[in-house]
Amino acid sequence: MFEHFIDKLQNDSFLTLETTPKHSARFDPVIDRIKELSLDKKTDGFSVTDSPLAKMRYSSLFAALKLQNAFKKPAIATISMRDRNKIALQSGLLGANDFDIRAILALTGDPASMSDQPSAKGVFEGNSTLLLDIIKCFNGGIDYAGKPLDVPPKPIYAFAVSNAFSKNPKNLQKKMRLKLEHDVYAIITQPVYSLSNATMLLELFEKAKVEVGSKAKKAQLIFGFFPITKLRTAQFLTSHVPGVEVPKKWHQELFEAKNESRKEQEEVGLKLSIEAFKEIYDLHPKMHIMTANNFMLAEKIISTVR
């Protein structure tokens, strides 16, 4: 399963769908909705978020397991450094590996100060590169302390993230290089909304690969994409999500449409989103779509290319 997944990533078109576990003891409703829309047949795999914005949610590892069992396709499980120390990180990875959860997206994580849980504190023994180092050790058959594991884990495939925009592009290239030096298979960007932004990111990524050398030769860049159908979403992304640039054209057209009607706003947003998604996919058909579990919207976008 994972061998085909990685081969698709490296040598073919590649499209994954983000899922967000809810504040619930059951993940099945998410799976049921994906089945209803046949999204499993239009994507190469899934990802699972890990309590984003520090809001407590169903476990990303167990959600990934349920997705894989339901669809026989890989799920990239996000693991945040916010909530675990080195012991818990390694323990969780070993248990997940036994159940074939082997694609891991390493995140530093949103600050615990954003949490909805009273007096929650972040662990943050390191940033996401610590988790990447742990994965590298496990793939070498040892734990982070250098002790050989009684039974070595099956190969673990590490993924990382990157901002999609910076006023100083060299900063993006530097951070990409750092992730590539830690043996990631791919870097997933924050949402991208223009061909010029996508082209810049590809150029920076290729330069970072050259700097790292041969071990980064097969690493891939995956463009994140979050459809925008409301002006307030565009404003939120622009103002509150670091490393994302929503074109001024989108703000203007959504503003004008909103003044006409809610329906017009949604139609204009969908049109802009579909056009941008197709344009970026044509340039580089390796993408990751995020819709905050609005799977009907995901289906409308994905169906334009698959």
How far apart are the C-alpha atoms of 113 and 115, rounded to whole Å? 5
Q: What is the mean pLDDT of the chain?
A: 97
Give the pLDDT confidence of 138-155 residue by residue, as tens digits: 999 999 999 999 999 999
Domain 2-302 belongs in CATH node 3.60.15.10: no
* Token code pair at residue 194: 């223009």
Give the pLDDT confidence of 108-147 residue by residue, as tens digits: 999 999 999 999 999 999 999 999 999 999 999 999 999 9
How far apart are the C-alpha atoms of 60 and 185, rounded to whole Å? 20
Domain boundaries, the chain: 2-302
Name the pLDDT band for 106 (thresholds 50, 70, 90).
very high
The CB-based long-range contact list for 235-238 (8 Å cut-off, 24+ gap) reads: 237/191
User: Taking the CB of residue 7, how many other CB atoms lie within 10 A of it?
Assistant: 11
How buried is residue 21: exposed, middle or buried, by Cβ count under 10 Å (0-12/13-18/19+)?
Answer: buried
- pLDDT higher than 90, residue 242: no
The residue-averaged pLDDT of 268-276 equals: 98
Look up the pTM and report it. 0.96
How far apart are the C-alpha atoms of 150 and 163, rounded to whole Å? 38
Give the pLDDT confidence of 219-237 residue by residue, as tens digits: 999 999 999 999 999 999 9
Question: Do 254 and 300 meet the contact criterion of CB atoms below 8 Å apart?
Answer: no
How buried is residue 286: exposed, middle or buried, by Cβ count under 10 Å (0-12/13-18/19+)?
Answer: buried
Bridge partner residues of 186 (DSSP): 159, 220
